[in-house]
Amino acid sequence: MKLLPGQLLLERFVVEGHHRRGGMGDIYRGFDRRREAAVAIKVCLLPSDDNGWKRFRREASILATIDHPRVVRLLAHDALEDGTPYYIMEFVDVPTLDQVFRKRGRLPVTEATSAIGSLLEGLSVLHMRGIFHRDVTPKNLAIEPDTLQVKILDLGLAKSLVGHEVGLTQDGATVGTPAYMAPEQTMGFGDARCDVYAAGLLLFQLLTGARPFEDHGKRELATRIAFPAPYARLPRGEPPLPRRLVTLLANALARNPEERPADAMQFHVKLLRAQAGADTENAPPSSLPAHDRSDVRRRTPGTSASEATEPGFGAVALSGLRYVVGVRAPRDSASMAMFAEATSHLEARLREQCAREVRVFPPDIVVAIVAADAVDALLCATYEILGTGSRVACEPLPEEVLGPSPSLDDFGPEVAVVLGDLLT
């Protein structure tokens, strides 16, 4: 149901006109006669069935518990005549972080850390209430251009661990924006450390001008799942980043969530310490996080195919790099017969399009060996056939043991790791 200019809501808010369309609703600009201030009116666009309205109301219920300058403020919520839910919040008349980044590019260290520090303040408020955001992206964050203070705008995918959304998100469902997802989030799992990972990606992007592996295009997500993030570095000729900041970023972007800061507050405290103890010396190997100390030049894609020691992803693929990739069908009310039919269909598709070596582990797991440049085709086929709630696990095969025609029978440890990830 659309709102019309001049329409009065709750005898207080006057609709002025349509502003933009958001992920879950249409957003109108309005005027609060009581406060004499502009407001934003968000009207649900989701269907009333399939938990759509429940999700929208959940967002409003979460916002209603929060009053903090780093999170958009809820003023009221209700439903239109046809039952469509809506809520009214403060109108934030500043650009998004995405718009600022596109205009300015990478930021100086002090400005980048200040912006992410303010983001972590807002996320800390959520985490202390048992809520994690799950979709921390530049488009969901408003930023004051002068002060670089961030305000969280959209909580449409936020999840509460204390009862806000029982039954709204299926276990193992994949939600969020792929470019800012933590590895475990792609498999439908996660907690506050997913937000820590996303904040780390944003800080990396603001400091260096790009996300880790962003230059790999469609393979970016698969690469992040399979490889540790590179260390944040500035262009040649510029002073190196502070050592403590590089180390903290590596921790925040660890593939294993156990190695990250536990929540936004812990990340913020560590960031403040890194700022206070800024050290511009290059980080020696012994000071870097243990999970990244191995020589990743052999196994990790670099930034350019022309670099002899750090080939680009395409060059690595041509040299024979492959992955063991496992997928598991989402668990819902479907029968085992339906699982078997879907996984059989997926097996046939993979053999036809991207993988010669495929094996089904009944009733709902498919494992394949694929080349680096075919991982995304596998993921697309998986989400098309099994659904976006599918779990995915990925393990690179050591380059030195690859033969011309690798077989799943020859790579027991890698297959075991993938199966273990899918079954736990």
Q: What is the pLDDT of residues 331-355, one digit of tens each?
A: 654 545 666 777 778 788 888 877 7
The token duo for 229 is 């993030």
Quick one: pLDDT at residue 171? 43
Name every residue whose Cβ is closer than 8 Å to that of residue 301 and which is 6 or more positions away in sequence.
213, 216, 223, 227, 310, 311, 312, 313, 316
Mean pLDDT of 205-212: 94
Asked if 332 is an active-site residue, the reply is no
Whether 245 has a pLDDT exceeding 90, the answer reads yes
User: Per the confidence metrics, is the pTM higher than 0.85?
Assistant: no
Query: In this predicted structure, what is the pLDDT of residue 98?
Result: 94
Higher pLDDT pick, 411 / 24: 24
On average, the pLDDT of the chain sits at: 76
The CA radius of gyration of the chain, in Å to the nearest whole number, is: 23
Neighbouring CB atoms inside 10 A of 412's CB total 9
**pLDDT at residue 240 is higher than 70:** yes
Contacts of 371 (CB under 8 A, 6+ apart): 317, 320, 321, 322, 354
Render pLDDT for 112-130 as a digit per residue (tens, 0 to 9). Answer: 999 999 999 999 888 887 8
pLDDT at 150: 95
**Cα separation, 179 vs 224, whole angstroms:** 10
What's the pLDDT tens digit per position in 17-63?
998 887 677 899 999 999 999 999 989 887 766 566 777 777 777 77
- Identity of the highest mean pLDDT range in 150-164, 354-368, 394-408: 354-368
Q: Dihedral of the CA atoms 372, 376, 382, 384 (nearest 10)? A: -160
Q: Provide mean pLDDT across the span 365-385.
A: 76
Looking at residue 302, its pLDDT comes to: 33
pLDDT value of position 321: 62
User: What pLDDT score does 279 carry?
Assistant: 44
Residue entry with tokens 């310490």: 273
Which residue among 26, 135, 195, 421 is the active-site one? 135
| Domains of the chain in sequence order | 8-90 (3.30.200.20), 97-293 (1.10.510.10), 318-423 (3.30.70.270)
